[in-house]
């Protein structure tokens, strides 16, 4: 087994070295991978949105979607309250989704990164397309699944499944160092500045959208007691939806999560190896092994969670006998290097 791993590692290293000598091919493969990831993210969102969140196909109420899609829903409802006759609600939501992303796209271009912005635009365009195409009028399966889930499991299942799918969509985009646009850009921008998780900022903004949507829904019902009770109940299920979506994002997107790594070794040179191969510094403490009575060196490093596997691999390769422990951190203050998003 060990020889197999070694052979695989050598082959992988040879491929990486070849790609570094052929940068055009390397970049083409990288961008192709990002495009496929963006397409998967958009598909998952459109399926979740049309199947669990916005049930126009069966006419049994909506869960307020997160992000710009939720704002689009709210604005569409505002137009209906104002007496505007909307012939194709899905088309209007798709158009609004794209248009409302323009200001935050500008923020992404100047505040986060150009490649981030380009692939965010690709994702936004794909979501607009898939939301339009992947609905019950074009795909019978979507309507069948939506009706079965709604009739057999109700709003709670819709809230959970909708939160999982749309949260997964955003998390996939963030994994590729781009976003699903809209509120995700704002939340991502704030999280990079605050160096905290993305999900809680998305939940805060989306909660405001949900409150406005609920008030407009009550206005549309002319504050009829039974209708108001129904829309308030929908708001509670929407809260579950937003919470699940934020939880999925934070569980998958680990860029701003930190952990402390402590390495116990008898190799003093390991410290120089660590700071040479990782974009972080380390603190060395000398100690005495209680059992052996020999001198030991303890190196303490704080790194991002997404860097941990690579860091452990490098350390174990340099010193197979090193004792390593990893401790998750709630908060980090002070200077900490975070790889910038392009």
Same domain, 74 and 160: yes
Residue 222, domain member (yes or no): yes
Residue 2, domain member (yes or no): no
Residue 18, domain member (yes or no): no
Same domain, 98 and 209: yes
Q: Which of 252, 287, 307 lies at the terminal end of a domain, its last residue?
A: 252
Q: Which of 252, 270, 302 lies at the terminal end of a domain, its last residue?
A: 252
Q: Which of 252, 284, 319 lies at the terminal end of a domain, its last residue?
A: 252
Residue 40 has a pLDDT of 93
Number of domains in the chain: 2
Same domain, 78 and 169: yes
CATH for 293? 3.30.70.120
Residue 12, domain member (yes or no): no
Per-residue pLDDT of the chain (342 residues; tens, 9 = 90+): 444 445 665 666 666 666 666 667 777 888 888 899 999 999 998 888 888 876 554 345 556 666 777 788 788 888 888 888 777 777 787 788 778 877 888 888 888 888 888 888 888 888 888 888 887 677 777 777 777 877 777 778 888 888 898 889 888 888 888 887 777 787 777 777 766 665 567 777 778 887 888 788 778 777 666 667 777 777 788 788 888 887 887 777 666 677 888 999 888 888 888 888 887 888 888 888 888 888 889 998 888 877 888 888 888 888 888 899 998 877 776 666 566 565
Same domain, 161 and 263: no
Same domain, 195 and 248: yes
Give the CA distances from residue 176 to residues 37, 44, 66, 255, 280, in Å, rounded to whole numbers and listed in that order.
7, 15, 20, 11, 22
Same domain, 91 and 31: yes
Structure tokens at 222: 């002319």
Residue 1, domain member (yes or no): no
Same domain, 78 and 146: yes
Residue 10, domain member (yes or no): no
Same domain, 90 and 194: yes
Structure tokens at 180: 């699903």
Enclosing domain of residue 248: 23-252
Residue 3, domain member (yes or no): no
Residue 36 has a pLDDT of 92
Same domain, 270 and 247: no
Same domain, 315 and 245: no
Q: Are 172 and 35 in contact (CB under 8 A)?
A: no
Determine if the pTM surpasses 0.85.
Answer: no
Same domain, 213 and 88: yes
* Buried b or exposed e, range 293-327, using 16+ CB within 10 angstroms: eeebbebebbbbbebbeebbeebeebbeebeeeee
Same domain, 218 and 305: no
Residue 183, domain member (yes or no): yes
């Amino acid at each position: 087994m060990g020889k197999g791993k070694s052979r695989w590692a050598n082959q992988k290293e040879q491929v990486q070295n070849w790609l570094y000598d052929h940068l055009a091919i390397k970049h083409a493969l990288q961008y192709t991978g990002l495009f496929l990831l963006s397409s998967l993210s958009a598909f998952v969102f459109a399926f979740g949105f049309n199947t669990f969140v916005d049930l126009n196909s069966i006419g049994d109420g909506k869960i307020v979607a997160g992000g710009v899609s939720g704002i689009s829903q709210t604005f569409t409802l505002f137009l209906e309250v104002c007496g505007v006759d909307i012939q194709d609600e899905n088309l209007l939501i798709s158009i609004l989704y794209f248009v409302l992303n323009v200001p935050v796209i500008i923020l992404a271009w100047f505040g986060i990164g150009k490649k981030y912005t380009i692939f965010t635009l690709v994702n936004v365009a794909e979501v607009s397309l898939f939301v339009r195409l992947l609905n019950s009028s074009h795909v019978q399966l979507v309507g069948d699944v939506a009706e079965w889930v709604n009739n057999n499991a109700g709003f709670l299942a819709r809230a959970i499944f909708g939160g999982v799918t749309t949260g997964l969509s955003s998390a996939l985009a963030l994994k590729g160092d781009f976003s699903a646009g809209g509120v995700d850009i704002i939340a991502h921008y704030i999280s990079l500045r605050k160096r905290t998780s993305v999900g809680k900022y998305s939940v805060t903004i989306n909660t405001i959208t949900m409150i406005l949507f609920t008030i407009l829904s009550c206005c549309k019902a002319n504050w009829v007691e039974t209708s108001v009770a129904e829309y308030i109940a929908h708001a509670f299920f929407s809260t579950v939806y937003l919470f699940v979506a934020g939880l999925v994002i934070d569980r998958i997107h680990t860029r701003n999560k930190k952990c402390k790594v402590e390495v116990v070794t008898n190799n003093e040179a390991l410290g120089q190896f660590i700071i040479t191969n990782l974009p972080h510094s380390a603190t060395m403490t000398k100690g005495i092994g209680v059992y052996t009575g020999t001198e030991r060196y303890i190196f303490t490093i704080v790194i991002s969670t997404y860097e941990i596997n690579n860091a452990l691999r490098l350390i174990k390769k340099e010193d197979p006998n090193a004792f390593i422990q990893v401790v998750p951190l709630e908060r980090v203050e002070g200077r900490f290097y975070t790889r910038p998003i392009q």
